């Protein structure tokens, strides 16, 4: 029996462990320095907001691991020795592995701002970050969040539930406009503001200022504005958490470099999830994909490979989702922030200004390329199929109602969307 | 606007406090008129007046004192009658001596020969209760048994007060004897208690309209009420106490019943009973908390419609129509209550009442049976059990409105699911056996079915399941174990609906491809304790007998993963698939 050791008990490592267990009887050990049991990182905000307790965020009950003979070790891997196949743990000594799976996730970025290590300045990634945030935000009145991404907006929503005033510094000229097309970015910008967030666009952080006790007391923007605050959230992206692999012989660049089989350059060492950087390109995907679904899919793939059925990581069409305060967002296929030369678009927005649909297709071939939907739930299954089958935009629009995934009795908009689409496209073709 | 919420809270607390104070705020004076008004048998009335003479003309200062004294008087009457009419050991010995070989019923006449009332009773009752001994070899013990039965049933029935009469009299005499501010001003007190509570609640709830539409679960797990903290425990204890009083000691809560007398008179023309009070408060809870539910979920048409539906069915079908039926001299009937939730549907007294009421009565009987054998399977097939549990049912209605703040308290563990399946199906079996026994008795007039007594069985069911489980545990435990404890672990109708939903229905909750992020909101807010996430994160349809289709899992999901759907049956039990990953075949 092999000893398969997995570093990281996030979605990547745990999916790998579970799927290996389904196919083999090998010994499986999962190591994490964060929490004893797997919990859902995406639910961190809900713990802070009181929607759930930490317990509720664990996808499996505590007995599950023993029953499935997955050994859990709470410790930090300080070094990996690939020659002797040994891990050096901080507390529990050395651990031998036959197969190593690295699923160590990400860590929050910091860009060397003056004052970034003051008390009350933090990112949000780990469970410990959440505890720190609980402490840092106690009895405070004002907070500043830097960086307009998904974690930033979650942090804003979190702080608002504690009646803390939030100022949000965003470098772009609309919220998340490096990812979203301008129309959607604008819709979300309005929505964020409707929740009384002081959103400052085109604004960057220059400096964080502290008081005599080393606690943050204000920040200075690149425009020279000084904003008083007792908390600063740094949410300017995450990067692979791979320091402990230094000198291990495992090749890294931004992340751990892997081939199509998620193998690293060292035999019997695999890597997956947030900490990975693919050596090969996949159409429409970045080489470092820090999303939940990627970790999960890679976990399924690597398990198959480790259990003797070599499988490539070949994800289907891109999909993702998020929620911005009250507005749900889903995306299928690729909708870039700016149209590519071969692309054209149709954008529909509901009169309420809180729902929209944005479709992209190829100008010449009419092939449907991607869709963003805000405030209307749509069926993954349909779009996955249509994208794979390279359906035309007309086909997709004709069948749009089939893809509706909103609950029963919800107002439907397909009629209006299709009408407007036809009008818009007939003008184009004339 | 800022002050509405605290003002509402203050009004609610005031109303609630007056309600509680009014429980104690009365004195009681029994009069011969009251006793004669409630006891038609003149002789019984006179004996009771004798024993209760201390209560006549003097004020008892509290319900506890009054009920205790009254109860003692009723017991005393029974005791006296037993000693007057009971068989002495000597008499029984004598009877045994007469019948050494075989028992001859004629010997009774010889033993109790002198002509007086006692002997006349003894002769007659022994012949009635012990006639079957005639011609048999009989032991002294058997003779004793007959005498004991006469004591237990014959004497108290004829000359004293049996169990039911005692319960009834304690309640009705206490209610009639009350002299209190409430009694002289019931309408005023209705306003000062329940009225203030309603106004207060609405003032507390309505400002939520200013918040943007969307999920309102902020702070749920920091809340002293919603997280089994002091306030929740206190509320639960109050509710439990209320139910225990209502079902087992209604004589103490007469002051509350008096408050709703005017309402009852307005509707049915009769004085209110305790269950009128209960129905009245119950309906108001559903209405007021229904408003809250609608405001909280106003971004979801499904939730709005569903809530309106339970508000309507409770108000019209459970509360108003039955009262109006009574006003029209028709039998009390709740057209939406279905056996076996309505466990007494086949009790002989109810069947007799319906049959005695001509065409309408027969229609009601047929309607009730059609609900059981046609409506349940057909509607569950097309819509899932939700058509009843979260659109029509009164228990469900209360759970979805008053109980909504507690839905997160249901236990999601696998072990709880196991207990649930055992428990709810046992109750179903119990209900079926009990009803079969009752019907057997109805048609054969024999109370003994195999080895059990159908009267005893229905009484046990009524006390433990009907009152104890559905009432005390079902609602009293809202703040402790979640709002669907009864629906999940106890309701036999839910079990029946669930079996059909599981095996023959078009209903399922579908999951949206690979979009689940395992956050756990769905499982946390599933009032039935279904671990929805377990299915969602592996891309498997949720087909569970217990799902009441409240749709809250779908509402709270931040990624739009869940949808309650009715579609053709094929593919309902789909294999786990997570869309989005090529070359992967998920192992089971
Ligand atoms: C607040 C927040 C919200 C998010 N929301 C979404 C979302 O809505 N949708 C989405 O797609 N993605 C979301 N993400 C991103 C998503 O959570 C990550 O992509 C995903 O969790 C990565 O999983 P992983 O298993 O690769 O890594 P991780 O979940 O980071 O797990 C890695 C684990 O390894 C442990 N570890 C690392 N190094 C060591 C070591 N040397 N020794 C021991 N243990 C170690 C870490 O402590 C950690 O527990 C969100 C992230 C955050 C922080
Ligand atoms: S699974 Fe969903 S719809 Fe069914 S009872 Fe639970 S929360 Fe309600
Ligand atoms: S709420 Fe939605 S995203 Fe969260 S676990 Fe449930 S189905 Fe998955």
CB atoms within 10 A of CB A213: 8
Q: Evaluate whether A4 touches A101 at the Cβ level (below 8 Å).
A: yes
Q: Does A40 touch chain B (CB under 8 A)?
A: yes
Distances A356 to A183, A187, A424, B122 between C-alpha atoms, Å: 9, 8, 16, 90
Tell me what pLDDT residue B578 has: 78
Mean pLDDT of chain B: 94
Q: Would you call A377 and B560 a contact, using CB atoms and an 8 Å cutoff? A: yes
Residue having the nearest C-alpha atom to atom 4 of ligand 3: B519
Number of domains in chain B: 3
Nearest to B60 by CA among B101, B28, B96: B28
The verdict on B155 and B193 lying in the same domain is: no
The backbone torsions φ and ψ at residue B362, rounded to the nearest 5 degrees and listed phi first, read -65, -40
The verdict on B90 and B201 lying in the same domain is: no
Residue B517 CB–ligand 3 contact under 6 Å: yes
The verdict on B93 and B184 lying in the same domain is: no
Distance CA A279, CA A271 (A): 12
Domain's final residue, options A272, A306, A340: A306
Number of domains in chain A: 3
> Residue B57 gets which letter from DSSP?
T
The verdict on A129 and A223 lying in the same domain is: yes
Distance CA B244, CA B468 (A): 8
Ligand 1 centroid–CA A106 distance in Å is: 6
**Set of chain B residues whose Cβ sits within 8 Å of the Cβ of A293:** 514-515, 580
Tell me what pLDDT residue B376 has: 97
The verdict on A185 and A205 lying in the same domain is: yes
**Set of chain B residues whose Cβ sits within 8 Å of the Cβ of A326:** 212-215, 299
- Parallel, antiparallel, or unpaired: how do β-strands A27-32 and A3-7 relate? parallel
The H-or-E segment that residue A332 falls in is strand A327-333
HSE-CB at B575 with a 13 A cutoff on CA atoms is: 6
Q: Would you call A381 and B559 a contact, using CB atoms and an 8 Å cutoff? A: no
Ligand 3 centroid–CA B304 distance in Å is: 22
The verdict on A273 and A340 lying in the same domain is: no
The verdict on B62 and B108 lying in the same domain is: yes
| A93 min Cα distance to partner chain B (Å) | 33
The verdict on B41 and B131 lying in the same domain is: yes
The verdict on A299 and A209 lying in the same domain is: no
The verdict on A43 and A101 lying in the same domain is: yes
The verdict on A42 and A135 lying in the same domain is: no
pTM: 0.95
| B236 min Cα distance to partner chain A (Å) | 22
Does residue B409 lie in a domain region? Answer: no
Does residue B70 lie in a domain region? Answer: yes
Distances B175 to B77, B194, B303 between C-alpha atoms, Å: 21, 19, 42
Nearest-atom number in ligand 3 for the CA of B515 is 3
The verdict on B147 and B201 lying in the same domain is: no
The verdict on B10 and B102 lying in the same domain is: no
The verdict on B42 and B160 lying in the same domain is: yes
The verdict on A48 and A150 lying in the same domain is: no
The verdict on B190 and B130 lying in the same domain is: no
Distance CA B76, CA B51 (A): 7
The backbone torsions φ and ψ at residue A247, rounded to the nearest 5 degrees and listed phi first, read 65, 15
The verdict on A125 and A216 lying in the same domain is: yes
Does residue B47 lie in a domain region? Answer: yes
**Which structural domain, as residue segments, surrounds residue B60?**
33-177
Distance CA A405, CA A386 (A): 16
The H-or-E segment that residue A416 falls in is helix A414-429
Q: What is the mean pLDDT of each run of 10 residues along chain A (430 residues)?
A: 97 98 97 98 98 98 98 98 97 97 97 96 98 98 95 98 98 94 97 97 97 97 97 97 97 98 98 98 94 96 96 95 98 97 98 98 97 98 97 97 98 97 80
Domain's final residue, options A236, A269, A285: A236
Could you say which of B219, B515, B554 has the minimum Cβ distance to residue A319? B515
- Residue A361 burial (CB < 10 Å; 0-12/13-18/19+)? buried
Does residue B424 lie in a domain region? Answer: no
Residue having the nearest C-alpha atom to atom 1 of ligand 2: B547
Tell me what pLDDT residue A5 has: 98
Tell me what pLDDT residue B134 has: 86
Residue A414 CB–ligand 1 contact under 6 Å: no
Distance CA B541, CA B561 (A): 11
List residues bridging with B178 in a β-sheet.
B28
Distance CA B357, CA B148 (A): 39
The verdict on A42 and A98 lying in the same domain is: yes
Q: Evaluate whether A247 touches A268 at the Cβ level (below 8 Å).
A: no
Nearest 10 degrees: Cα torsion B11, B12, B18, B22 = 150
Distance CA A116, CA A125 (A): 16
Q: Evaluate whether A268 touches A232 at the Cβ level (below 8 Å).
A: no
Could you say which of B414, B512, B558 has the minimum Cβ distance to residue A323? B558
Tell me what pLDDT residue A411 has: 96
Tell me what pLDDT residue A375 has: 98
| Sites in chain B below the pLDDT cut of 70 | 583, 585-588
Tell me what pLDDT residue A428 has: 59
Domain's final residue, options A283, A306, A329: A306
Nearest to B557 by CA among A37, A405, A150: A405
CATH code for the domain of A353: 3.50.50.60
- Parallel, antiparallel, or unpaired: how do β-strands A216-221 and A226-228 relate? antiparallel
Does residue A335 lie in a domain region? Answer: yes
The verdict on B138 and B16 lying in the same domain is: no
Tell me what pLDDT residue B64 has: 94
The verdict on A97 and A31 lying in the same domain is: yes
- Which chain A residue has the Cα nearest residue B535? A59
Q: Give me the residue label for tokens 């003979």.
A: A69
**Set of chain A residues whose Cβ sits within 8 Å of the Cβ of B215:** 51, 326
Nearest-atom number in ligand 1 for the CA of A323 is 8
Does residue A126 lie in a domain region? Answer: yes
The verdict on B4 and B130 lying in the same domain is: no
Residue B495 CB–ligand 3 contact under 6 Å: no
Best residue among A39, A106, A239 to mutate for probing ligand 1's pocket (most ligand atoms within 8 Å of CB) is: A106
Tell me what pLDDT residue B235 has: 97
The verdict on A231 and A277 lying in the same domain is: no
Nearest to B29 by CA among B64, B66, B73, B75: B66
Tell me what pLDDT residue A96 has: 98
Strand boundaries in B284-433, DSSP class E: none
The H-or-E segment that residue B474 falls in is helix B474-476
Distance CA A290, CA B455 (A): 67
Does residue A23 lie in a domain region? Answer: yes
pLDDT one-digit tens code per residue, A336-373: 999 999 999 999 999 999 999 999 999 999 999 999 99
The verdict on A100 and A151 lying in the same domain is: no
The verdict on B42 and B168 lying in the same domain is: yes
Ligand 2 centroid–CA B408 distance in Å is: 12
**Which structural domain, as residue segments, surrounds residue A178?**
121-236
CATH code for the domain of B533: 3.30.70.20
Distance CA B550, CA A416 (A): 30
| A19 min Cα distance to partner chain B (Å) | 7
pLDDT one-digit tens code per residue, A163-175: 999 999 999 999 9
Tell me what ipTM this predicted complex has: 0.96
Does residue B385 lie in a domain region? Answer: no
Does residue B257 lie in a domain region? Answer: no
């Amino acid at each position: 029996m092999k000893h398969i050791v997995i570093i990281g008990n996030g979605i990547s490592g745990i999916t790998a462990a579970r799927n290996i267990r389904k196919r083999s009887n090998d010994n499986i050990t999962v190591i994490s320095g964060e929490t004893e049991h797997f919990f859902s990182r995406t639910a961190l905000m809900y713990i802070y907001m009181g929607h759930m307790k930490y317990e509720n965020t664990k996808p499996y009950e505590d007995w599950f691991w023993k029953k499935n003979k997955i050994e859990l070790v709470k410790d930090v891997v300080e070094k990996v020795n690939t020659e002797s196949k040994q891990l050096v743990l901080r507390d529990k000594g050395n651990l031998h592995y036959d197969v190593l799976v690295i699923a160590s996730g990400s860590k929050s970025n910091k860009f060397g701002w003056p004052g970034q290590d003051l008390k009350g300045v933090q990112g949000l990634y780990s469970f410990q970050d959440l505890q720190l945030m609980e402490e840092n935000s106690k009895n405070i009145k004002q907070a500043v969040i830097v960086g307009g991404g998904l974690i930033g907006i979650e942090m804003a929503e979190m702080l608002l539930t504690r009646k803390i005033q939030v100022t949000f510094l965003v470098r772009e000229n609309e919220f998340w406009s490096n990812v979203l097309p301008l129309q959607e970015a604008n819709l979300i910008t309005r929505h964020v503001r409707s929740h009384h967030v002081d959103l400052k666009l085109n604004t960057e952080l220059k400096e964080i200022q502290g008081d005599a006790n080393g606690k943050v007391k204000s920040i200075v923007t690149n425009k020279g504005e000084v904003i008083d605050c007792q908390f600063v959230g740094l949410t300017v992206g995450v990067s692979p958490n791979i320091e402990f692999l230094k000198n291990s012989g495992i090749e890294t660049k931004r992340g751990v470099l892997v081939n199509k089989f998620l193998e690293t350059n060292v035999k019997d060492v695999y890597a997956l999830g947030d900490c990975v950087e693919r050596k090969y390109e996949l159409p429409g995907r970045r080489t470092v994909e820090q999303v939940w679904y990627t970790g999960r899919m890679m976990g399924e793939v690597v398990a198959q490979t480790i259990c003797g059925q070599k499988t490539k990581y070949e994800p289907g069409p891109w999909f993702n989702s998020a929620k911005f305060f009250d507005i749900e967002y889903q995306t299928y296929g690729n909708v870039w922030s700016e149209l590519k030369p071969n692309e054209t678009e149709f954008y529909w927005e509901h009169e309420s200004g809180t729902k929209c649909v944005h479709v992209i297709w190829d100008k010449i071939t009419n092939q449907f390329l991607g869709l963003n939907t805000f405030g209307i739930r749509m069926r993954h299954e349909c779009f996955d199929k249509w994208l794979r089958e390279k359906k035309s935009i007309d086909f997709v629009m004709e069948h749009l109602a089939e893809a509706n995934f909103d609950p029963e009795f919800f107002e439907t908009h397909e009629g209006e969307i299709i009408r407007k689409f036809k009008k818009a496209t007939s003008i184009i073709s004339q | 606007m800022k002050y509405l919420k605290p003002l509402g809270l203050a009004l609610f607390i005031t109303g609630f406090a007056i309600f509680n104070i009014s429980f104690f705020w009365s004195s009681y004076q029994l009069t011969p008129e009251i006793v004669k008004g409630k006891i038609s048998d003149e002789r019984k009335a006179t004996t009771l007046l004798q024993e209760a003479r201390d209560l006549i003309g003097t004020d008892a200062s509290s319900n506890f004192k009054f009920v205790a004294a009254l109860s003692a008087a009723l017991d005393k009457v029974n005791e006296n009658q037993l000693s007057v009419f009971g068989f002495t050991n000597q008499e029984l010995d004598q009877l045994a001596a007469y019948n050494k070989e075989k028992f001859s019923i004629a010997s009774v006449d010889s033993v109790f020969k002198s002509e007086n009332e006692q002997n006349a009773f003894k002769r007659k009752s022994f012949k009635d209760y012990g006639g079957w001994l005639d011609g048999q070899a009989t032991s002294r013990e058997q003779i004793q048994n007959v005498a004991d039965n006469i004591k237990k049933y014959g004497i108290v029935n004829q000359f004293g007060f049996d169990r039911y009469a005692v319960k009834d009299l304690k309640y009705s005499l206490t209610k009639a004897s009350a002299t209190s501010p409430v009694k002289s001003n019931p309408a005023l007190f209705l306003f000062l208690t329940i009225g203030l509570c309603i106004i207060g609640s609405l003032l507390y709830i309505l400002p939520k309209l200013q918040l943007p539409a969307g999920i309102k679960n902020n702070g749920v797990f920091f809340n002293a009420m919603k997280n089994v903290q002091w306030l929740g425990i206190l509320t639960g204890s109050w509710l439990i106490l209320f139910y225990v009083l209502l079902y087992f000691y209604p004589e103490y809560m007469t002051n509350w019943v008096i408050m709703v007398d005017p309402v009852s008179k307005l509707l049915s023309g009769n004085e209110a009973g305790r269950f009128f009070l209960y129905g009245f408060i119950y309906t108001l809870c559903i209405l007021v908390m229904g408003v809250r539910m609608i405001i909280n979920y106003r971004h979801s048409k499904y939730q709005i419609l569903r809530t309106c539906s339970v508000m309507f069915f409770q108000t019209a079908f459970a509360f108003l129509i039955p009262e109006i039926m009574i006003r029209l001299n028709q039998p009390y009937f709740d057209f939406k209550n279905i056996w076996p939730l309505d466990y007494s549907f086949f009790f002989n007294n109810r069947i007799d009442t319906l049959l005695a009421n001509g065409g309408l009565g027969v229609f009601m009987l047929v309607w009730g049976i059609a609900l059981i054998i046609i409506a349940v399977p057909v509607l569950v097939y097309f819509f899932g059990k939700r058509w009843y549990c979260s659109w029509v049912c009164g228990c469900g209605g209360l759970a979805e409105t008053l109980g909504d703040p507690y839905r997160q308290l249901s236990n999601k563990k696998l072990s709880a699911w196991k207990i649930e399946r055992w428990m709810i199906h046992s109750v179903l079996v119990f209900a079926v056996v009990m009803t079969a026994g009752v019907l057997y008795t109805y048609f054969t007039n024999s109370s003994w079915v195999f080895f059990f007594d159908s009267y005893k069985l229905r009484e046990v069911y009524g006390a433990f399941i009907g009152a104890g489980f559905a009432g005390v545990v079902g609602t009293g435990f809202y703040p402790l174990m979640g709002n669907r404890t009864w629906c999940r672990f106890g309701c036999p109708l839910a079990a029946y609906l669930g079996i059909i939903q599981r095996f023959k229905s078009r209903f399922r909750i579908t999951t949206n491809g690979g979009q689940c992020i395992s956050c756990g909101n769905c499982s946390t807010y599933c009032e039935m304790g279904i671990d929805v996430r377990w299915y969602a994160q592996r891309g498997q349809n949720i087909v569970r007998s217990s799902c009441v289709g409240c749709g809250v899992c779908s509402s709270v999901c931040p990624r739009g993963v869940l949808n309650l759907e009715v579609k053709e049956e094929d593919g309902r039990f789909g294999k786990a698939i997570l869309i989005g990953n090529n070359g992967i075949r998920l192992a089971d």
